[in-house]
């Protein structure tokens, strides 16, 4: 084979190849001549070994005092901070988004580590007074055991950190199966934990493909909880498999996020937000702005201003200075973008900007596409209903706030939404009536912070949340404890024994 760097799975404290010996290449989506590394193409037997190691390690890890577990997380965050630039570079090479954004991705992992390290000194429970004399009662969080974590490629370090850190602080052990397109960033994250001193078997990483490595993890009977982030289609499948075993599952899935622009909005502010919301991360954020729902009285001015601004976006290799937008993650994703551009044209939407793949010079070696804007889009067109996950935004004219909110809610997803208005009443009505997990006022649909709950309604999620202290509910269960120190069986217990 080649002299490309070879990476191994981390199982039970050892770096090991896939048992089958199979591997796959990870290439740079901005330049497919650049091989990032060779990764294990793992199967069920590797997952079984990782789960066994995690199960064994759980016996001791669950008994480590939570503040001590927190110290490990704190050290890992410090290491991530020291390596931020290197890890951001690696991430831009394997994922494509520009350096400013990959630095943000690593930073989110750092923030999550510090936040969860602090939770090691809280992990608050509940105490309530008893109905009886001489009786004490409380409820505490208990860990579940081995957690199976499955992650997407668009935030290849932040999203693993949103899962691994809270799982560990609660006293669980983990097996993570990173996205096949971006294993290196998740390996880097695990390396930071290893260097921080994580005990053997507490964190295991097994790379490979969804059906052959992800699915055995979901189906393994010793995995007590699955936390999945990815597409709605795969998430529903994962959820069905979990239901068959009565397994806990947390799902974070697709989005079709709306930005409402009222006629009183500050259009200068809108411009920056709309362009960043729609084309940041090449539109490959679960929270990307993919629908701009604009009041008819300003829609023409807005469309021409967004068009002029988006035209100036520098598209190219995210490692180069001045680049603002990178490639799609792979050929398949680029094909999806091209398919939806064709659908939009056929549906009669007006192509205001872009619409073509970029192939000039070095761009021809990557999966680049022009920033693309459709105007005069109708609410029920496929480009306004289905997740595209690329640099394509639809502008939908409406006549009132009521109609805007109705259009905003009229999709199968409910992750993020935003409204631009200077009218405080409009803002509060939107905050109340937009049925999404996140609502922004005078800001784009992206920009969540890790210490508030993150997640979506409808087809985006299953009621769970990442981030905030709410994430702890995914990785722990409540245990209620009653202590009777009366020295005898009390009357109410006889009358009302549950």
Give me the residues that bind ligand NAD (CB under 6 A), please.
150-155, 177, 179-180, 209-211, 214-215, 218, 229-231, 234, 237-238, 252-255, 286, 387, 389, 415, 456, 460
Strand order in the sheet with 248-252: 14-16, 9-11, 203-205, 173-177, 146-150, 223-229, 248-252
Catalytic site residue from 119, 286, 387, 466? 286
Where does 276-410 show beta strands of DSSP type E?
Answer: 289-295, 350-353, 372-375, 392-398
Give yes or no: 119 in active site.
no
Residue number with CB closer to ligand NAD (30 or 415): 415
Query: Nearest distance from residue 416's CB to ligand NAD, in Å?
Result: 9
User: Is 342:363 a contact under the CB 8 Å cutoff?
Assistant: no
Which residue's CB comes closest to ligand NAD? 210
Rounded to the nearest 10 degrees, how much is the dihedral formed by the CA atoms of 409, 410, 414, 415? -80
Nearest to 79 by CA among 116, 49, 110, 34: 110
Residue number with CB closer to ligand NAD (94 or 387): 387
Residue number with CB closer to ligand NAD (67 or 104): 104
Q: How far apart are CA 120 and CA 237, in angstroms?
A: 34
User: Is 57:10 a contact under the CB 8 Å cutoff?
Assistant: no
Q: How far apart are CA 152 and CA 56, in angstroms?
A: 27
Query: Nearest distance from residue 213's CB to ligand NAD, in Å?
Result: 7
Residue number with CB closer to ligand NAD (234 or 265): 234
Query: Nearest distance from residue 226's CB to ligand NAD, in Å?
Result: 9
How far the first Cα of the chain sits from its last, in Å, is 66
User: Is 176:11 a contact under the CB 8 Å cutoff?
Assistant: no
Only one residue has tokens 């954004």, namely 101
Query: Nearest distance from residue 285's CB to ligand NAD, in Å?
Result: 7
Nearest to 445 by CA among 327, 276, 298: 276
Helices (H), 249-295: 267-279
Catalytic site residue from 180, 252, 338, 466? 252
Query: Nearest distance from residue 330's CB to ligand NAD, in Å?
Result: 9
CB neighbour list of residue 257: distance below 8 Å, 6 or more residues apart = 277, 287, 288, 289, 290, 291, 413, 415, 416, 417, 418, 436, 445
Give yes or no: 252 in active site.
yes
Residue number with CB closer to ligand NAD (286 or 419): 286
Q: Is 406 left (phi over 0), alpha (psi -120 to 50) or beta?
A: alpha
User: Is 6:14 a contact under the CB 8 Å cutoff?
Assistant: no
Query: Nearest distance from residue 116's CB to ligand NAD, in Å?
Result: 17
Query: Nearest distance from residue 458's CB to ligand NAD, in Å?
Result: 11
Report, as residue numbers or ranges, the catalytic residues: 252, 286
């Amino acid at each position: 084979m080649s002299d490309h760097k070879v990476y191994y799975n981390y199982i039970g404290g050892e770096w090991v190849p896939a048992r089958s010996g199979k591997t796959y290449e990870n290439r740079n989506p901005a330049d497919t001549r650049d091989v990032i590394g060779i990764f294990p193409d793992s199967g069920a037997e590797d997952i079984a070994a990782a789960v066994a190691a995690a199960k064994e390690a759980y016996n001791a890890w669950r008994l480590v005092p939570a503040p001590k577990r927190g110290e490990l997380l704190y050290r890992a965050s410090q290491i991530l901070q020291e390596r931020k630039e290197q890890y951001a570079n690696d991430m831009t090479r394997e994922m494509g988004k520009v350096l400013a954004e990959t630095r943000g991705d690593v930073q989110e992992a750092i923030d999550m580590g510090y936040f969860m390290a602090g939770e090691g000194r809280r992990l608050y429970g509940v105490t309530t007074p008893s109905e009886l004399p001489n009786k004490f009662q409380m409820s505490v969080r208990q860990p579940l055991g081995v957690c199976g974590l499955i992650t997407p490629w668009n935030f290849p370090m932040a999203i693993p950190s949103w899962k691994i850190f809270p799982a560990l602080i609660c006293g669980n052990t983990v097996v993570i199966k990173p996205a096949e397109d971006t294993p290196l960033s998740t390996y880097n994250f695990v390396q930071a934990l290893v260097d921080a001193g994580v005990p053997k078997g507490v964190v295991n990483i097994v790379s490979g493909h969804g059906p052959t490595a992800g699915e055995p993890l979901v189906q393994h009977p010793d995995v007590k909880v699955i936390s999945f982030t990815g597409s709605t289609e795969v998430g529903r499948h994962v959820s069905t498999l979990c239901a068959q075993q009565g397994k806990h599952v947390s799902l974070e899935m697709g989005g079709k996020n709306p930005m409402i622009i009222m006629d009183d909005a500050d259009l200068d502010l809108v411009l920056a937000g709309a362009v960043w919301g729609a084309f940041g991360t090449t539109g490959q954020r679960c929270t990307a702005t993919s629908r701009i729902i604009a009041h008819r009285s300003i829609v023409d001015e807005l469309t021409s201003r967004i068009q002029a601004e988006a035209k100036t976006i520098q598209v190219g290799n995210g490692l180069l200075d001045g680049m603002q937008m990178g490639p799609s993650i792979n050929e398949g994703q680029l094909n999806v973008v091209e398919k939806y551009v064709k659908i939009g044209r056929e549906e009669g939407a007006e192509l205001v900007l872009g619409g073509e793949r970029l192939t000039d010079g070095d761009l021809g070696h990557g999966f680049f596409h022009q920033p693309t804007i459709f105007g005069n889009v109708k609410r029920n067109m496929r480009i306004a209903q289905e997740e595209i996950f690329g640099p394509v935004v639809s502008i939908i004219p409406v006549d009132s706030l009521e109609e805007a909110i109705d259009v905003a809610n009229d999709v199968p997803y409910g992750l993020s939404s935003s409204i631009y208005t200077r009218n405080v009443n409009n803002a509060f009505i939107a905050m109340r009536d937009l049925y999404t997990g996140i609502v922004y006022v005078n800001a784009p649909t992206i920009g969540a912070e890790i210490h508030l709950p993150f997640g979506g309604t409808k087809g985006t999620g299953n009621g769970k949340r990442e981030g905030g202290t709410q994430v702890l509910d995914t990785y722990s269960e409540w245990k209620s404890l009653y202590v009777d120190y009366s020295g005898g069986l009390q009357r109410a217990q006889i009358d009302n024994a549950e």
